[in-house]
Structure 1
Amino acid sequence: MTITGPQACAARVLVEWPRNHVARLSGLTIEALTAFERGRIHPGAEAVVRLRTALESGGAVFIDENGAGAGVRLKFNRRDVRSIVRLENEGGPVGDDDV
């Protein structure tokens, strides 16, 4: 399933990520992401897949056109998303586990 610019914008707002963060995760420029969200350009199929993957990693779930219109919703509630983002930003070295 491909996503539209307005769906991407709605997903970004739902996961509460700024445009520059989503652009960095998806490999798009901020200008290209803005133009796609506003329906002015299509950045290409590969870029849209990267964008969708980035937004889904934040908890967005894209809904196919089902007669009532395409859409987007959250997989997690807002508190869960904030906790995930906080944990992802903790950083630190990755260790080996010899178990």
Structure 2
Amino acid sequence: MGASKNVIVGAVLPAQVRAARGLIGWSQEELAEASGIPKRTIARLELAEGSPQQRTIASIRSALEAAGVEFIAENGGGAGVRLRKSAL
């Protein structure tokens, strides 16, 4: 895995977006619909291609959080995602 795959994009890692979608069972299309962000942009973000705008990241993160995902910051144990207890 290249270094670009680990670059934080607006405090959300591409792997966190992929993992978050997996936790809630969403496709890229479903995330695109929920966030108002084009599927192609989501695909590029997940591949760590380009530099998405902060509002793009905020829209994606908000949609995932509204669906029950919590983003876990890099705090020595590694960044990640989990479902809120109320979403379980």
| TM-score of the aligned structures, taking structure 2 as reference length | 0.80
Larger radius of gyration: 1
User: Counterpart amino acid of 1:49?
Assistant: A
Moved over 4 A (4+): none
Q: Give the equivalent residue in structure 2 for 1:6.
A: 15
Q: Are 2:76 and 1:67 equivalent residues in the alignment?
A: yes
Provide the rounded CA distance (Å) in 2 between the counterparts of 1:25 and 1:58: 9
Provide the rounded CA distance (Å) in 2 between the counterparts of 1:42 and 1:61: 23
Q: Are 2:65 and 1:56 equivalent residues in the alignment?
A: yes
Q: Give the equivalent residue in structure 2 for 1:97.
A: none
User: Counterpart amino acid of 1:45?
Assistant: Q
Structure 1 residue ranges without an equivalent (≥5): 78-99
CA-CA distance at 1:40 after TM superposition? 1.2
Q: Give the equivalent residue in structure 2 for 1:16.
A: 25
Q: Are 2:50 and 1:41 equivalent residues in the alignment?
A: yes
User: Counterpart amino acid of 1:69?
Assistant: G
Percent identical among aligned pairs is: 35
Q: Is the Cα contact below 8 Å between 1:61 and 1:74 reproduced in 2?
A: yes
| TM-score of the aligned structures, taking structure 1 as reference length | 0.72
Which secondary structure does the structure 1 equivalent of 2:75 belong to? coil
Q: Is the Cα contact below 8 Å between 1:11 and 1:60 reproduced in 2?
A: yes
Structure 2 residue ranges without an equivalent (≥5): 1-9
Which secondary structure does the structure 2 equivalent of 1:25 belong to? helix
